[in-house]
A and B are shown apart, each in its own frame.
Chain A
Amino acid sequence: MRVKLKKRLKGYRGDFILDVDLTAEEGNFITIFGRSGAGKTTLIRMIAGLLNPDDGFIEVNGKVWYDSNRGINLPPQKRNVGVVFQEYALFPNMTVEENILYGMERKDEELLEKLLMLTELTELKNRKPQSLSGGQKQRVALARAVARKPDILLLDEPLSALDIDMRRKLQEELLQIHHAFSLTTFLISHDFSEIFRLSDRVFVIDNGKVIKEGKPDQIFVQERLSGKVKFSGEILQIKKEDVVYIVSVLVGNNIIKVVADPEEIQDLSVGDRVIVASKAFNPFILKS
């Protein structure tokens, strides 16, 4: 499949042009990685047909979904996609079972049972979405998207709102479903462990462009193994203490305090994205 799209977007750092060209093999698990506002959700919406690109081309399994040159633009209904939205988007008026059945063209009891089982929803099939937990809702959304037997499955940060245990469990289920239905899956994520565990291929998007692509270890590991410890993070606070400054940097969910002298501090300010690096010692790993 090939996705080549252009669209002018308004970002919080000014206008920019989303201009991507992705080629992927059928059956691959693909992750789109990038900071928020990079245009990831826009990309997914354009593939699904919910948003019109300015220009480009989408071809999936030999079928052209969009081609600006030939004036082809299939509506979402005609594109065989499964979309899992960030906010679940379940139908509140239907039960779990009805939500899943709604996705099917013809009622397929066997597929329904299989999906309910894979997502551990069999017991909950007569409940309404309002009474489910976040993880359960996300499973219904996943089962519903797959019920259509889509050519591609699009997942817009489906697990980001869940706690770590639930996330881990759902990652397993996601992978199972991906293989069981031989899907081509597109996942938006910025969780490294998730990307490593799930994807065959990663596309890193920044400022609307694909800046890197490859296998997860090629992309994320290489530069980290160059003999030093390096983290990227955001400056939370700069505090003067005697003659030096203490800079607090948020890395992931941890705050690292770094000593800096007045010269180093000059072009740093709160909110800057920085890299904290160290060459002087050998870090060691302890199981926590």
Chain B
Amino acid sequence: MGTDFIQTLLLTLKLATLTTVILFFVGLPVAYLLAFYNFKLKSVVETIVSLPLVLPPTVLGFYLIVFFSPDSFVGKFLEDTAGIRLVFTFGGILLGSIIYSLPFMVHPLQSGFSLVNRSIIEASYTLGKGKLQTLWKVILPNMKQSILTGIVLTFAHTIGEFGVVLMIGGSIPGETKVASIAIYEEVESLNYNKANLYALILFVITFSILIFVYTLNKKFIKAENL
């Protein structure tokens, strides 16, 4: 087990953590908007959010490459003005992960929002509290289960991601080579022991996360029924 092994695992966890944190703050307003407001382009927004569920990851990865390659307008603009390159970099796989895991964060939050009793929201308004304060003090604390589900699904889904990361990131050690890609490469070079180790670690991590969530959710439900 060399440093590159640890490096790959750490990179995987870093990608999943950053994706989850960013997506939480991106997903929250999107889900809030979809749950509480009706507007003209609502179905379009809903479609875009859900698209990564059905779109092959390679298609998404392909478009990201086309869009952000240094030869393209957007890619050139980003590189010239901000010095950001998104193809074959960590920033690129982070962006890809955020788009690809979007529904896994937005859907649980959206359903959480719509399950919160409308009358406690109205009660908060009549007690003189604004929308933001109502969101933090009343709405979010009463949808912990949905928040947890969104966070965990996003984290686990990002760990398991393959196609998008491979397309836009390539497989650059320490930069874009995550565990799921490493497994594929080790198998291709008949390095079964190493692949096995990666696989086992990923398995244990995801298994532990899920069992933690299910136990915690049971506790939430118990607390609600007291």
Contact = CB atoms under 8 A, between A and B. Distances in A.
A105 interface: yes
A83 B225 contact: no
A144 B119 CA distance: 14
Contacts of A78: 128
Nearest to B137: A102
Given A82-B126, A103-B127, 10 more contacts: A50-B122, A50-B126, A87-B119, A90-B120, A91-B124, A92-B224, A93-B141, A102-B129, A130-B226, A145-B127
A81 interface: yes
Contact of A89 (B122, B224, B226): B122
A102 B126 CA distance: 11
Nearest to A130: B226
B59 interface: no
B142 interface: yes
Contacts, number: 65
A32 to B, nearest CB: 18
Contacts of A90: 120, 123
Contacts of B138: 91, 93
A243 B122 CA distance: 58
Given A91-B138, A128-B226, A148 B128 contact: yes
Contacts of B83: none
Contacts of B225: 130
A75 interface: yes
A121 interface: no
Contact of A130 (B119, B125, B224): B224
B2 interface: no
B195 to A, nearest CB: 46
A81 B125 CA distance: 10
Contacts of B223: 130
Contact of A85 (B123, B129, B224, B226): B123
Interface in A193-228: none
Interface in A54-88: 75-83, 85, 87
A48 interface: yes
Nearest to A127: B226
Interface string B108-136: 00000000010110111111111000000
A128 B127 CA distance: 19
A131 interface: yes
Contacts of A105: 128
A131 B226 contact: yes
Contacts of B120: 89-92
A50 B125 contact: yes
A39 B141 CA distance: 33
Contacts of A103: 127-128
A92 B125 contact: no
A127 B224 CA distance: 13
B142 A76 contact: no
B142 A93 contact: yes
Contacts of B130: 77
Contacts of B126: 48-50, 76-77, 79, 81-83, 145
20 contacts: A50-B122, A75-B125, A76-B122, A77-B125, A77-B129, A80-B128, A83-B123, A85-B122, A89-B119, A89-B123, A91-B137, A92-B120, A93-B142, A102-B129, A128-B226, A130-B224, A130-B226, A131-B226, A144-B123, A148-B128
B125 A76 contact: yes
A103 B126 CA distance: 9
B138 to A, nearest CB: 6
Contacts of B137: 91, 102
A247 B119 CA distance: 42
A145 B123 CA distance: 9
A83 B122 CA distance: 9
Interface string B204-226: 00000000000000000001111
Contacts of B142: 91-93
Contact of A102 (B117, B119, B127): B127
Nearest to A78: B128
B130 to A, nearest CB: 6
Contacts of A102: 124, 127, 129, 137
A103 B223 CA distance: 24
Nearest to A131: B226
Interface string A259-275: 00000000000000000
Nearest to A92: B142
A85 B129 CA distance: 17
Nearest to B141: A93
